Homo-oligomer: A and B are copies of this chain.
């Protein structure tokens, strides 16, 4: 939908180059500016200035302002997905996989604060993205959580009455909200990595069949 659509754009066609130095340059600038001012209040000229290019140059790489936001999301969610998949590779236990997922999520948020801001805040943005846009990448991200739950249920480690789909949104929602609060509050009441452990504890404990009051934490990070 967002890429293959045959849109009559007056013959100019889509931007010729999709990747390259300029492309990443503008994308990064847009992340910063959107995170700072918010998508609607950010001006294209702000992004252009931040990227060190002329306003018009942006339109050589992105069809319009909306596409800039969509591309940020697609691009960066792809990184999140690839990243967490890589970390999950060596982990077999479904419950432990959820812990690894949480750790990775918060680690990324901590490492890329402005990115997280755009992903979390701006993506909830307008009808454009909430009603028309289908965030496939987000669904892929969620599907990883869902799969952990199904696996856990298959091997009897996770209670069968838990709906994996509902769980995935609950798990993601909890992490997302905490990450947002960490970003918004300059206070230290929420710290990414300890929070990751807490979230993992509560959710793992909440769905596990065996219920060790104190799950065997390895206190990493």
Contacts and interface: CB of A to CB of B under 8 A. Distances in A.
Interface of A: 11-12, 36-38, 40-41, 45-46, 120-121, 124-128, 130-131, 159, 161-163, 165-167, 169-178, 180-181, 184, 189-190, 195, 198-199, 201-207, 209, 211, 213-214
A40 B176 CA distance: 23
Contact of A128 (B38, B161, B211, B214): B38
A217 to B, nearest CB: 9
A173 B170 CA distance: 7
B159 A213 contact: yes
B125 A163 contact: no
Contact of A178 (B40, B121, B170, B184): B170
19 contacts: A12-B45, A37-B127, A38-B127, A38-B128, A41-B128, A121-B124, A124-B125, A159-B214, A161-B201, A162-B201, A166-B189, A166-B190, A169-B177, A170-B174, A171-B174, A174-B174, A205-B205, A206-B206, A211-B213
A156 to B, nearest CB: 12
B189 A178 contact: no
Q: Please state the number of chain copies in the assembly.
A: 4
B173 A176 contact: yes
Given A37-B127, A121-B130, A206 B213 contact: no
B121 A167 contact: no
A10 to B, nearest CB: 9
A40 B41 CA distance: 10
Contact of A161 (B120, B178, B214): B214
